[in-house]
Amino acid sequence: MCGILGAVPAIEKNRFHKALGSLAHRGPDGDGVWQDGGHAILGHRRLAIIDVSNLASQPMQYRGRYNLVFNGEIYNFLEIRRELEARGHRFVSHSDTEVLLAAFAEWGPQCLQKFNGMWAFAIWDSLEKKLFLSRDRLGKKPLYYAHVGGQLIFGSEQKAILPFLPRVRPSANFESLCNNAYAYEATEETLFEGVRRFPAAHYAWLQGDRLVKTQYWSVIESSTMVPSSYDQQVEQLRELLVDSCRIRMRADVPIGTGLSGGVDSSAVAAALSEAMKRSNKEGAASNWQNSFVASFPGTVMDESTQAEQVAKHLGIQHTKVIIQPEQYATQLERLVYMMEDIHEVNPIPHIALYREMRAKGVLVTLDGHGGDELFCGYESSILHALPETLGSCSAARSVLQTYHDCHPQNQYFRGMTKNQIAWYLFKAKGRMILQEGLLSEHRLKSHFGALNAHLFELSFRTVFPTLLRNYDRYSMINGVEIRMPLIDHRIVSFAFSIPWQSKLKNGFTKSLLRDAVSPWLPPEIVRRKTKIGFAPPIQDWMRGPLRTYLMDEIESKSFREANLISAEELGPKIKSLVDGENRPILYEAEQTWKQFNIYLWEKAFIQNQLWKI
């Protein structure tokens, strides 16, 4: 995983190289720049994972014609390499990068259908003077672009593009985007005027000054045949998960996993262990038995006990990372700059976790993201199965009981009444119609059913694209690569081809996933119904270790002169939250933190212009 930057026509090389330096955190192992006269310039920052020799350095050229900068991994590169060798291709490195280039030379854009991986890459055809861009199916790897004058500038992060804009200022829709923080990542809109997001599951050719985009994959059109028997579905998912982990363990550096003690992360950790028991381990990292958990001692958010139980059961080395927010207080503006977008959840725990991985020499982590969105893990998602139960009172009661069992011991969780549930579903339908249109919303539900249509929205339109962006930043700030076995495109297609009853069964969410991994994990982990989520106790932090920093900031000149927030409103709100007699609820603290985050964004990008070169 790396950072890329490019421009067509070319930008002056010295200035370009300075902008490329803003991506050094993504690729601390080296950099390279290649130029085709005034036609194009490509830059790369390398995080060496597969074939760490210089033979795999980028920009990489193939057959004197195709020139590549690539961020990501092609996990099935060994299988594709053998196919290409049978067709006469010869390789000088052991990298997936060279395989990607050869595959493009052999099949053109159709090579994307063969790739199992995550990617954002650019290929410059120096013979025909043409640029090709592509991004992976789910958009795990970021890619942004801007048209500046007659130039196209593209890169892994927006901060590398900003120096070339005529002016840097918030998008005209900035306020709306911030108010709907989970609604825009799947669109081309960004927080910066003039910067666009390249869409997932697309490729494009640059024709003149226009990017002509083509969608090459859609889960709606890639449904797969699944057995009607639930037990056979369980077996199929089990084998898919093991194979997904098997090919994602390919690395020439130490790898590990982030454990939370929940079902998804435990499932991935267990599947890793199972994959290493199988005979076909070609290319797998030899140092893989490493797990890490973020711990919030003494708070309801701490799940380190469950994570330690899983690690002990699987016999893998475990590191508990005690989160100490005071260590990051003076770095918050810098972190917002690195993250680039507005977040409701404080990023310190996630960044600290991946920082510890890097410190321990673990450069790749296989994490359990995606299970909640694909297999119905969020308590609010459960309610979307209710329309499926029309005509069956027992099925409706089962869905409602599953919903209420999610947090039965949490004094802060009350659940919704029947009237509140009806209102929630009505509003959710309204939002979906607004986003998709009435006809599209109807087609989704006709194709998937009510629950899977809702999970489609989470996975491809709202929550999950945002989480993918966030986790890319959390990890790459520290030069660590995240791989996500649960969102292997084969598993994604499988998840949207099974009926809702396979996801909610016998009082459990994610029942199919639980049953798939049950032979490998302690029953109390697999059958645990409560769900906490990976979020810090921000209300305690704001009243404790971050208090001094917050109070200093709201008294500063930069806060008083900020244009994107109301200092007169936000300042007293922070004071009340920090010094008030009553402990604020988590939602209130998160919303206040989000507003403070907007101020830090303005301070980093508009006031202090940290992006300048």
- SS3 readout for 181-220: CCCCCCCCCCCECCCEECCCCEEEEEECCEEEEEECCCHH
The token pair that represents 601 in the structure block: 């964004």
Q: Which of 276, 274, 249 is nearest to 362 (CA)?
A: 249
CA distance 167 to 170: 10
> Within 10 A of 292 (CB to CB), how many other CB atoms are there?
23
Number of domains present in the structure of the chain: 3
Q: Which residues of the chain have pLDDT under 70?
A: 407-443, 445-446, 533
CA distance 411 to 267: 28
pLDDT value at residue 437: 60
Same structural domain for residues 245 and 261?
yes
Question: Domain ends where: 536, 567, 596?
Answer: 536
pLDDT value at residue 581: 78
* 230-236, Cβ contacts within 8 angstroms, sequence gap of 24 or more: 230/502, 230/505, 230/512, 233/498, 233/502, 233/512, 234/512, 234/515, 234/516, 235/516, 236/494
Same structural domain for residues 591 and 448?
no
Same structural domain for residues 429 and 412?
yes
pLDDT value at residue 410: 45
Give start and end residues of each alpha helix (H) in 34-95: 77-86
Same structural domain for residues 506 and 582?
no
Categorise residue 79: left if φ over 0, alpha if ψ from -120 to 50, beta otherwise.
alpha
CA angle (520 as vertex; 519, 526 as ends), nearest 5: 80
What confidence tens digit (pLDDT) does each residue in 63-110 have? Answer: 999 999 999 999 999 999 999 999 999 999 999 999 999 999 999 999
CA distance 56 to 301: 42
Same structural domain for residues 57 and 128?
yes
Question: Domain ends where: 217, 239, 268?
Answer: 217
Same structural domain for residues 266 and 402?
yes
pLDDT value at residue 422: 62
The token pair that represents 584 in the structure block: 């604020």
Q: Which of 146, 141, 142 is nearest to 161 (CA)?
A: 146
CA angle (166 as vertex; 164, 171 as ends), nearest 5: 100
Q: Is 319 helix (H, G, I), strand (E, B) or coil?
A: strand
Distance of CA 173 to the CA centre of its chain: 23
In order, the DSSP letters of 400-454 are HHHHHTSSTT-TT-----HHHHHHHHHHHHHHHHHHH-HHHHHHHHHHH-HHHHH
Instruction: Note whether residue 223 is domain-resident.
Output: no
For residue 28, what are the β-bridge partners? 46
pLDDT value at residue 429: 57
pLDDT value at residue 428: 59
Report whether 508 contacts 380 (CB < 8 A).
no
pTM assigned to the model: 0.94
Same structural domain for residues 512 and 412?
yes
Helix count and strand count (H, E) for the chain? 24, 17
Same structural domain for residues 249 and 316?
yes
Instruction: Note whether residue 365 is domain-resident.
Output: yes
Same structural domain for residues 580 and 502?
no
The token pair that represents 137 in the structure block: 């199916």
**Token pair 């690690």 in the structure block, residue:** 311
Instruction: Note whether residue 343 is domain-resident.
Output: yes
CA distance 175 to 173: 6
Give the CATH number of the domain where residue 42 resides.
3.60.20.10
* 180-183, Cβ contacts within 8 angstroms, sequence gap of 24 or more: 181/341, 181/342, 181/343, 181/344, 181/466, 181/594, 182/462, 182/463, 182/466, 183/435, 183/461, 183/462
Instruction: Note whether residue 612 is domain-resident.
Output: no
Report whether 367 contacts 484 (CB < 8 A).
yes
Instruction: Note whether residue 564 is domain-resident.
Output: yes
Same structural domain for residues 8 and 54?
yes
Instruction: Note whether residue 246 is domain-resident.
Output: yes
Query: What is the distance in angstroms between the CA of the first residue and the CA of the last residue of the chain?
Result: 24
Same structural domain for residues 194 and 310?
no
Instruction: Note whether residue 222 is domain-resident.
Output: no
pLDDT value at residue 448: 84
Instruction: Note whether residue 144 is domain-resident.
Output: yes
Question: Domain ends where: 536, 553, 571?
Answer: 536
Give the structural domain span for 505.
Answer: 231-536
Indicate the pairing of strand 60-62 with strand 202-207: unpaired
Distances (CA, A) of 588 to 56, 570, 583: 49, 12, 10
Same structural domain for residues 268 and 172?
no
Give the CATH number of the domain where residue 466 resides.
3.40.50.620
